[in-house]
Structure formats: C-alpha cells, structure tokens
Amino acid sequence: MTYQTKKRAALLRELNDIIAADRFPFSPRILMLKAIRAKLRPEPVREPLPSPKHHHPPRAVAARRRRAGR
C-alpha cells in the first residue's frame, strides 16, 4: 500500500465516521462531505433492473370469466 493510498483510506474512514454520526443527514455540511467522499471513492456502476414481467391469465380462464359475466 502506497503512502497516497493510506492517506486516502484514512480520509475516507474519517469522512464515513463523521457522516454516520451526524444527526442531520441532509444538512448542507453533510451533503458537502458526501460529495467529497464521492469524488474520493466513486460508487460502482449498477446494472439496470430488468423490466417487470407482465402476467396474463391463460385464454381458457379469460374466456370462462367472460361467459360468467365477470
């Protein structure tokens, strides 16, 4: 581990501790610290969620419902 990496890790630990211990997570001070943390350690890119699957009842059930007046 290089000296720069150690400094970055120490700074991230301090930022995480300050952010976690604060009572007001949406205060301007904490939002600024979160922005700094994001620059030091960007979040990994997340894969998009798959599109929801639509369920259609079988045709026989739908036909029975139509005949039953539902």
The band of 32, judged by pLDDT with boundaries at 50, 70 and 90, is very high
The pTM assigned to this predicted structure is: 0.57
Q: 3-state SS of the chain?
A: CCHHHHHHHHHHHHHHHHHHHCCCCCCHHHHHHHHHHHHHCCCCCCCCCCCCCCCCCCHHHHHHHHHHCC
Amino acid 34: pLDDT: 95
Report residue 26's pLDDT band, with 50, 70 and 90 as the boundaries.
Answer: very high
Query: So what's the pLDDT on residue 27?
Result: 96
What is residue 41's predicted lDDT score, i.e. its pLDDT?
A: 81
CB 41 within 8 A of CB 20: no
Confidence label for 28 from pLDDT (cuts 50, 70 and 90): very high
Contact criterion met (CB below 8 Å) for 15 and 26 = no
